[in-house]
Amino acid sequence: MTMPISKKIIFYVLLAVSGIIVFAPTLMAFMMSFMSNKDIMTGSLPTSLSFDNYVKAFGQFPLLKYLFNSFFISIIIMIGQLLLSSLAAYAFVFLEFKGRDLLFYLFIATMMVPFEASIIPNFHIIRDLGWIDTYQGLSVPFFAMAFGTFLLRQNFRQIPKELREASQIAGMGDFKFYLTVVLPVAKTSLITLGVYGFLTSWNMYLWPLLSTTNDSVRTVQIGLKQLQTQEQLNDWGVIMAGAIIVVIPTLILLFLGQKKLQKGLTEGALK
């Protein structure tokens, strides 16, 4: 069915106005990151654009180190989550054993415990393990993930049971079946979950704030906070350059995977 032209115009106007409002803060930060401090302070339109702010941000702060740390930690968490979630989801879908339903409810129960409510003992555990300022301290607590398990369980259930029976008759063990059949079939869901895991890990704030005390493993989010608080001259251009560097990887990932992410998240959330 085609829409009358007048209705089309109304929709485009609504879409455009909403788009401008939603995107304005990001666009403004992007512009500011190329502007001189004088232009920003006087509130004038940019008289000149340059990469000076970026050069300054990288020069004054170990941003490169922070970026590497964030990448490394996010990828470790992503892999850990994919591995643990897919193993657990496999057990819930393909294996039958006593206590399975009970364990499933236990997984559901974990979703009701906010990490923030248990952050004090968690901090003490990491400290007692000597994991403060380490990559494992920043990543291992996030490997187990109920949401990921549910999302993959949903996907694994669509794999026909006959396939497993056939593989069992052919003498294929469960682990081999998991590796060679289930994981390749569920590739799309794994990618979705991976993107989601990466995004949330990259954007983590409270935990890296607590569990890092120096630059060695500090993430870029905490680096940005430091940039903002230590920038004595209130050099907004430099701060915005830092912020843009922080959001570019996740924005690119989001733009590439938006469709899949939307489909995957809706499925995991609702079925």
Choose between 8 and 187: whose C-beta lies nearer to another protein: 8
Site residues (CB under 8 A) for another protein, limited to 198-217: 199, 202-203, 205-206, 209-210
Query: Should residue 141 be labelled a site residue for another protein when binding is judged by CB under 8 A?
Result: yes
Sole binder of another protein in the list 55, 83, 166, 179 (CB under 8 A): 83
- Shortest Å distance, C-beta 249 to another protein: 9
> What are the residues facing 35 on neighbouring strands?
49
- For residues 195 and 74, give the distance between their C-alpha atoms in angstroms, rounded to a whole number: 10
Sole binder of another protein in the list 36, 60, 122, 167 (CB under 8 A): 122
Query: Should residue 5 be labelled a site residue for another protein when binding is judged by CB under 8 A?
Result: no
Query: Should residue 123 be labelled a site residue for another protein when binding is judged by CB under 8 A?
Result: yes
The residue written with tokens 């004038």 in the block is: 44
Phi, psi angles (nearest 5°) of residue 35: -95, 155
Query: Should residue 98 be labelled a site residue for another protein when binding is judged by CB under 8 A?
Result: yes
- Shortest Å distance, C-beta 160 to another protein: 20
Choose between 129 and 166: whose C-beta lies nearer to another protein: 129
Instruction: Count residues near another protein (CB under 8 A).
Output: 91
Sole binder of another protein in the list 125, 165, 176, 213 (CB under 8 A): 125
- Shortest Å distance, C-beta 2 to another protein: 10
* The three-state (H, E, C) secondary structure of the chain, written as one string: CCCCHHHHHHHHHHHHHHHHHHHHHHHHHHHHCCECHHHHHHCCCCCCECCHHHHHHHHHCCHHHHHHHHHHHHHHHHHHHHHHHHHHHHHHHHCCCCCHHHHHHHHHHHCCCCHHHHHHHHHHHHHHCCCCCCHHHHHHHHCCCHHHHHHHHHHHCCCCHHHHHHHHHCCCCHHHHHHHHHHHHCHHHHHHHHHHHHHHHHCCCHHHHHHCCCCCCCCHHHHHHHHHHHCCCCCHHHHHHHHHHHHHHHHHHHHHHHHHHHHHHHHHHHC
Choose between 1 and 233: whose C-beta lies nearer to another protein: 1
> Could you tell me which stretch among 51-59, 136-144, 158-166, 185-193 binds another protein (CB under 8 A)?
136-144
Choose between 15 and 166: whose C-beta lies nearer to another protein: 15
Site residues (CB under 8 A) for another protein, limited to 219-238: 221-222, 224-225, 228, 236
Choose between 50 and 213: whose C-beta lies nearer to another protein: 213
- Shortest Å distance, C-beta 162 to another protein: 19
Sole binder of another protein in the list 45, 102, 112, 233 (CB under 8 A): 112
Query: Should residue 190 be labelled a site residue for another protein when binding is judged by CB under 8 A?
Result: no
Q: CB neighbours (10 Å) of residue 7?
A: 10
Q: CB neighbours (10 Å) of residue 75?
A: 16
Query: Should residue 23 be labelled a site residue for another protein when binding is judged by CB under 8 A?
Result: yes
